[in-house]
Chains A and B, each alone.
Chain A
Amino acid sequence: MQAIIDCNSFYCSCERLFAPTLQNAPIVVLSNNDGCIVSRSDEAKKLGIAMAAPYFQEADRIKKFGIHTFSSNYHLYGDLSWRVMETMRSLLPKEHVEVYSVDEAFVDLHHIADKDVYDFCIHLKNTIETWTGISVSIGAAPNKVLSKVANRLAKKNKVQTNCVVVLDSAQKIQTALQKTPIEDVWGIGYQYSEKLKVYGINTAFALSMKDLSWGKKFLGGINGIKLIRELKGLQSHSMQAPRTEKKMIATTRMFGRNVSEWQEIEEALATYATRCCEKLRRQHSAAKCVQVFLLRKPPPIPYGSAQAHYHRGSQVNGYALLDNPSNVTPDIIKAVVAIGKTLFEKGEVYKKAGVIVSDFVPDSVLQTNLFIAPADARRKKLMNVIDNMNAAYRNDVLKFGTSSTHKNWKMRSEKRSKRYTTRWDELCQVQ
């Protein structure tokens, strides 16, 4: 059997761990720049706060009900995420844990007899909660797609299920599929679900009754086949090696305010490039393709205009292919700044920028261009030193010239809690 372990309202749970007054209070966590709501406690859900709703839209209700609001505290969430995953790795063979996102992981339970899976899942759940203080829901089934179905049912009925659902018989699988609306099936997006409803397929069960060839034709070829196979109880998604390498790395931020000076854009791009390079080096990849985008502030809507809908602002993109794939910060900064310069227009106001690197090769076997000098080993060593020092001292003690020292455009995070688990001077106080 396979299982998916998913943290309950993860960001809210992290905040609650160090907020003794909010143990049963409604809380929400906002995204980068306090833009929209990304996590809600069960109490906040009951008060009708919608997921991913823009903060300003819910602000009145939040005030009215006294809902506690937090800005994202990624230092705290990242550390607690590691603790949750590490707890799993200490209860299971390490290679049986596949981290899927910050708050969920697939685990392979084939070494456990089917009849013992439920008890083992309860043990896993209790240990994670005791050790880390983060509550989780677990769905176990013969494959990944069905484990997602099981997990959703566990989350929907926390009290009845004790947050653990195991689908270990054909009967249980069928009942679970009948209870699962088609749009809640893993891998079915909004467009596919609308399309499937046209064909009269409204539940996961209805889809599981279709032939594989039907899936191939109507659900995007091989992926459709895989999905229907798994709904039928067969296995087609294997466990991925833990810490799968990313195929693309992006760093994008809203500026905290309006930005129209090239120098500020340049600093922002350099910092995003630095972040991308750190992530590249961590997974031992080098990128060949570098992309940059700038998002303009939308023009003001004329007073009294009927055009009331939200306008996102227009985006300009540019990219470059590097002669030599690289993860060396100065290389990427140079490329990114050059692209940025071609995109930037004086007089425009920008509100967001991003750097995306892709087309990776492993940095151990760099395919270099015969006619251009390869990045030399000394620079690689330098990057190593910088990474180590920044990890040891935090807050980027070492930076490249372009990426400024006063980050005007840094994230807006007015309501961020302390970094209780990663900063010695921000520890939680006890009386």
Chain B
Amino acid sequence: MEYIDMDPSEGIATQQINKNYQAGQVVQANATGFGAASDDFMERGIDLNEQLIHNKPATFFFRVNSDAMLGAGIHIGDTLIVDRSVPPKTGKVVVAILNGEFLVRRLQMQAHSITLLPENKKYGAIHIEHLEDYKTWGVVTYVIHGL
């Protein structure tokens, strides 16, 4: 059986002349030009779920309805990615429950109290002495802001 080496540059012309190739070459033989070379570099596209969600069962989304954290780049209508598995520490932006309301603020922990800091001069810091009224819900890891 005659066998002609398939050079991708020769493409379809060769294919029409001779239809005898080995089984392993069938894919390349179907050549439409230089497709085969880029196959080596083929990879999956970027997946935002993978990049922005580090722990899926612990990650939730919230919608921002206040400009209290404008200085941190959090605007009204933005979406927050909140990871409950990240330990809340001083300096983290958190979603918190205080007196029956969800708040987004920067957390500052003292020995026996907590302070929630806004990043907008219109708002004041909230000092919390009675921790039974307070609960850190989760730590904000990303903010999604549409332009």
Please report A residues at the B interface, Cβ cutoff 8 Å: 20-21, 23, 82-84, 86-87, 90, 130-133, 420-421, 424, 427-431
Contact = CB atoms under 8 A, between A and B. Distances in A.
11 contacts: A20-B102, A83-B58, A84-B57, A130-B85, A427-B79, A429-B65, A429-B102, A430-B66, A430-B103, A431-B68, A431-B101
Contact of A421 (B60, B64, B103): B60
Contacts of B85: 130-131
B84 A132 contact: yes
B135 interface: yes
Nearest to B103: A431
Given A23-B97, A429-B65, A90 B57 contact: yes
Contact of A430 (B56, B65, B84, B135): B65
Contacts of A23: 97, 100, 135
B81 to A, nearest CB: 11
B3 to A, nearest CB: 36
B104 interface: yes
B57 A427 contact: no
Nearest to A420: B60
A130 B97 contact: no
A90 B54 CA distance: 13
Given A86-B57, A131-B57, A428-B62, 13 more contacts: A21-B100, A21-B101, A23-B100, A84-B57, A130-B84, A420-B60, A427-B61, A427-B63, A428-B60, A428-B63, A428-B102, A429-B62, A430-B104
B117 interface: no
Interface string B33-65: 000000000000000000000011110111111
Contacts, number: 66
B63 to A, nearest CB: 4
A414 to B, nearest CB: 23
Nearest to A131: B58
A130 to B, nearest CB: 6
A87 B58 contact: yes
Nearest to A89: B57
Contacts of A421: 60-61
8 closest residue pairs by CB, A with B: A21-B100, A131-B58, A83-B57, A86-B57, A427-B63, A430-B102, A20-B97, A431-B66
B29 interface: no
A431 B104 contact: yes
B95 interface: yes
Interface string B64-96: 111010000000000110001100000000010
Contacts of B97: 20, 23
Contacts of A82: 57
A397 B116 CA distance: 44
Contacts of A424: 61
